[in-house]
């Protein structure tokens, strides 16, 4: 089902528990502790960017952490799409009571007209205003930042029946049009198959439930709940999808808190990011690393294979008689690259033409290996991951920590 394109905040119901959180030092006893905390810290710093401008108060941070914890503990109410959308609209309307319709302080919210427009459009009644006219009217007012009447909001429950209303002012029309806009979307994307009216009943019920919620920043609450649920789901498969990496929610949570308060001891963001990236890569591709090391150990014992001080291994297939390149040379070669299991990831032979490149612009194993060759030579290079693409790998074809095998013909030095 398509997402509803409404002019409201994407929010979910949430009652803030009113907890108080503070930034503080943490004790990290091992690598698992460190990666849990670093993940929380980095995400906390990221989430901070999504907080409404000038609102990173203790209350807002507490609301986010409450939502995070509630979802992690699986105490969050599960809602289907109809109920969730109704709840979102109700919570957003509650926000508009304080901030004005569509969060425009010059537009006073009139819930009687807003909700009646919502219901009329959702049930297909366009007697007072067509959806297209409502969109044109509201968007014109929005773009021109038209002034309404700043006054005390009029509150009401969302009704369940079509009702004709009288629009006596610009503000009346604005509220009704805003309701029609959202109601038309609800009808198309949520109620298209609602033959018995049960979905509509559920929708209205949840709009009214949303009106009873007390949410400071609906977007932040939604984000907290989404992240908390994701953390819980990772417990069964391993943190960050790495089997065996245990989830420590308390450290993740404190990492979030410290990040939201911009408290970055003992990890600076850059250090934390590098630590997570390298640790995840090593844990996820440890088997690849071990297999490569074993292969090279055994390969070094074969007749004809030589090993340099750096760990590069090479085997002479054809010995040429031409000049040898330097690290500053540009060379012309034919080559084929494979993983240690024989999977070909690149081949100039397959492309049907050799390639030219400067030796100081390629992986270290190539830079060193090609300088051992004379023009006319054909070598087989066995390259440890440290001399290849290292801990990051290259694209989808070369995993991190991969030892590589290249068959190379040196055709010319440019």
Residue 5 has pLDDT above 80, yes or no: no
Given 218, 239, 260, the domain boundary residue is 260
Q: Do 252 and 299 belong together in one domain? A: no
68-91, pLDDT tens digit by residue? 999 999 876 778 999 989 998 998
pLDDT band at 222 (very low <50, low <70, confident <90, very high): confident
320 shares its domain with 199: no
Active site residue 33: no
| Within a domain: 93 | yes
| Catalytic choice (357, 363, 412, 413) | 363
> Is residue 232 domain-shared with residue 330, that is, in the same domain?
no
| Tens digits of residue pLDDT in 386-407 | 999 998 899 989 999 999 999 9
52: left (phi over 0), alpha (psi -120 to 50) or beta: beta
- Whole-prediction pTM value? 0.61
Distance CA 107, CA 145 (A): 10
Tell me, what CATH number does 349's domain have? Answer: 3.10.50.40
> Same domain, yes or no, for 74 and 192?
yes
Q: What is the pLDDT of residue 375?
A: 97
Percent of the chain with pLDDT over 70: 93
Question: Are residues 393 and 339 located together in one domain of the fold?
Answer: yes
Q: Do 193 and 318 share a domain, yes or no?
A: no
Q: What confidence tens digit (pLDDT) does each residue in 235-287 have?
A: 999 999 898 899 999 999 999 999 999 998 888 999 999 999 888 888 888 89
244 and 131 housed in the same domain: yes
Q: How confident is the model at residue 17 (pLDDT cuts 50, 70, 90)?
A: very low
Q: Is 335 an annotated catalytic residue?
A: yes
pLDDT in tens, 43-66: 999 999 888 655 668 888 999 999
CA distances from 408 to 247, 347, 399 (A): 46, 10, 21
Task: State whether 362 and 255 are in the same domain.
Answer: no
pLDDT at 142: 85
**Catalytic one among 249, 263, 345, 357?**
345
Q: Show the CA angle centred on residue 285, arms to residues 283 and 290, nearest 5°.
A: 100
The pLDDT value given to residue 99:
86
Please state, in angstroms and rounded to a whole number, the distance separating the CA atoms of residues 185 and 175. Answer: 16
How far, in Å, CA of 341 to CA of 357, rounded?
A: 27
Which is catalytic among the residues 379, 389, 398, 405? 389
| pLDDT exceeds 50 at position 16 | no
Specify the pLDDT at position 53: 57
Whether 66 maps to a domain, the answer reads yes
Q: Domain span at residue 100? A: 31-260
Overall average pLDDT of the 156-162 stretch: 96
Question: Are 407 and 382 within 8 A, CB to CB?
Answer: no
Calculate the average pLDDT of the chain: 90
pLDDT band at 146, cuts 50/70/90? confident
Catalytic residue among 15, 242, 346, 357: 346
Q: Which of 117, 100, 170 is nearest to 141 (CA)?
A: 170
Residue 13 inside a domain? The answer is: no
Residues 85 and 224 in one domain: yes
Per the structure, the count of domains in the chain is 2
Position 83 in a domain = yes
Q: Is 37 tagged catalytic? A: no
Catalytic residue (one of 335, 379, 382, 401): 335
Judge whether 80 lies within some domain: yes
Q: What burial letters (b/e) apply to 141-164, b meaning 16+ CB within 10 Å?
A: beeeebebeeeebeebebbeeeee
Asked if residue 16 belongs to a domain, the reply is: no
Residue 147 has pLDDT above 80, yes or no: no
Q: Is residue 280 part of a domain?
A: no
What integer pLDDT is reported at residue 263 of this predicted model? 92
- The answer as to whether 281 is a domain residue is no
**pLDDT of the residue at 76:** 66
Q: Do residues 251 and 393 share a domain? A: no
The CA distance from 347 to 367, in Å, is 18
* Whether residues 62 and 183 fall in one domain: yes
Query: Is 233 in the same domain as 98?
Result: yes
In the residue annotation, 61 being an active-site residue is answered as no
């Amino acid at each position: 089902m398509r997402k509803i394109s409404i002019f409201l905040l994407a929010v979910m119901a949430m009652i803030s528990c009113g907890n108080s959180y503070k930034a503080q030092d943490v004790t990290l006893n091992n690598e698992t502790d460190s990666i849990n905390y670093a993940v929380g810290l980095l995400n906390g710093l990221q989430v901070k960017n999504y907080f409404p401008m000038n609102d990173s108060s203790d209350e807002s941070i507490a609301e986010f952490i409450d939502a995070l914890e509630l979802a992690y503990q699986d105490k969050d109410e599960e809602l289907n799409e109809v109920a969730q959308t109704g709840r979102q609209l109700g919570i957003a309307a509650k926000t508009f009571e304080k901030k004005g319709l569509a969060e425009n302080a010059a537009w006073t919210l009139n819930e009687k007209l807003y909700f009646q427009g919502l219901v009329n459009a959702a049930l297909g009644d366009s007697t007072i205003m067509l959806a297209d006219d409502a969109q044109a009217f509201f968007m014109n007012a929005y773009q021109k930042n038209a002034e309404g009447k700043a006054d005390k909001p009029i509150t009401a429950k969302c009704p369940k029946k079509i009702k004709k209303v009288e629009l006596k002012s610009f503000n009346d029309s604005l509220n009704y049009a805003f309701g029609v806009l959202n109601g038309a979307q609800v009808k198309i994307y949520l109620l298209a198959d609602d033959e018995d009216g049960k979905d509509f009943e559920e929708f209205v019920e949840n709009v009214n439930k949303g009106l009873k919620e007390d949410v400071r920043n609906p977007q932040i609450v939604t984000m907290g709940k989404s992240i908390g649920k994701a953390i819980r789901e990772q417990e069964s498969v391993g943190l960050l999808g790495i089997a065996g990496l245990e989830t420590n929610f308390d450290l993740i949570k404190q990492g979030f808190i410290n990040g939201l308060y911009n408290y970055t001891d003992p990890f600076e963001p850059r250090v934390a990011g590098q630590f997570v990236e390298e640790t995840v890569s090593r844990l996820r591709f440890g088997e690849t690393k071990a297999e490569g090391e074993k292969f090279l150990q055994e390969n070094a014992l074969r007749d004809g294979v030589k090993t340099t001080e750096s760990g590069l291994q090479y085997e002479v297939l054809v010995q040429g008689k031409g000049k040898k390149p330097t690290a500053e040379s540009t060379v012309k070669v034919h080559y084929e690259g494979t993983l240690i299991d024989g999977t070909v990831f690149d081949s100039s032979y397959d492309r049907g033409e050799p390639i030219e490149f400067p030796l100081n612009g390629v992986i270290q194993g190539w830079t060193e290996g090609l300088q051992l060759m004379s023009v006319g030579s054909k070598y087989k290079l066995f390259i440890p991951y440290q001399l290849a693409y290292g801990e990051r790998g290259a694209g989808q074809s070369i995993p991190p920590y991969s030892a590589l095998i290249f068959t190379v013909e040196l055709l010319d030095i440019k």
